[in-house]
Amino acid sequence: MKALKEKLERLQDGEIKENEPLKNHTTWKIGGPASLFFVPGHVEALKKAVEFIKKSQVEWFVIGKGSNLLVSDEGFHGVIIKLTEELADIKLEGSRVRAGGGVSLIKLATLMSKEGFSGLEFAGGIPGTVGGAVFMNAGAHGSDISNIFIRAHILYPDGTFKWIDREEMAFSYRTTKLQSERGICIEAEFGLSKGDKEQVRATLQKNKDYRRQSQPWNYPCCGSVFRNPLPHYAGQLIEQSGLKGYSIGGAQISTMHANFIVNKGDATAKDVLKLINHIKDTISREYDIKMATEVEWVGEVQ
């Protein structure tokens, strides 16, 4: 790991830390240290870093704002790469917008609403980056990334780049092929439509207000924990099972929205995992429905 750190330092294009606490980089405020933590200052630095990491045969994982992630209490023995505002260019051409992988999705939606472009209103309140949103096909309010997606520039683990269109992305509910291929979304292009500026802004604000009023952002959380087992809704099933407010250690099923697990102050990853498994067992027993998480696990399985 020392030799890899020296190689990353020689790039002189980014920030690198050892044993960086990942609880400082996740919205759940949970997670042990990463052996190495790298924030690239440019796409070329990211490409070279991925090549170095592959040659070193070291585990790696890419994060943005750290939502939808549960990091092991023991941390991550490898390299965490964080995409930030350094990869956050936004370019509007006609009704198409191209945004870097590190762009805040909320920021992009807000900027486009001010320009009077419709299509991103659903993203009001989604706490992630463009790269993460494409990777997970993020969505809300009856829409998702796939509805506006045109193409994305992807960096693969072997250091190659490729533009991928909508058909190649293989979108489905909270899923894309990037999850199996470990592709990193460097930038994405979306197709929007010109609308009434005040109406677009009003709809975006309405969606933001709904999330603030119905979801527990007063405590650290990751967003929705479970995928909706359509035609059912995860939150409704959990609430009907009487689990609202149920706690294990410092982790609690939110009393505001049952598909959220909040960190009441001292929750560990083990607490959250136990609570997730308790929910799965309960829903399976009562409804014969298998629950699947939206959350990605990072680190050694506990």
Rounded distance between C-alpha atoms, residue 206 and residue 123, angstroms: 11
Residue 152, amino acid: A
Q: What is the CA radius of gyration of the chain?
A: 19
Is residue 294 annotated as a catalytic residue, yes or no? yes
Is residue 20 annotated as a catalytic residue, yes or no? no
Q: Of the candidates 223, 221, 222, 213, which has an alpha carbon nearest to the alpha carbon of residue 140?
A: 223
The two tokens of residue 55 are: 């040659």
Counts of helices then strands in the chain (DSSP H, E): 9, 18
The two tokens of residue 82 are: 């964080």
Pairing of strands 117-118, 96-100: unpaired
Element (H, E) at 33: strand 33-40
Rounded distance between C-alpha atoms, residue 33 and residue 19, angstroms: 5
Is residue 59 annotated as a catalytic residue, yes or no? no
Pick the catalytic residue from 104, 113, 118, 224.
224
Angle between helix 2-10 and 43-56 (nearest 10): 160
In sequence order, which ranges of 115-195 are alpha helices (DSSP H)?
A: 130-136, 166-169, 178-181
Pick the catalytic residue from 174, 187, 189, 211.
174
Q: Of the candidates 92, 126, 135, which has an alpha carbon nearest to the alpha carbon of residue 107?
A: 126
Q: What count of other Cβ atoms lies within 10 Å of the Cβ of residue 218?
A: 10
List, by residue number, the catalytic residues.
174, 224, 294
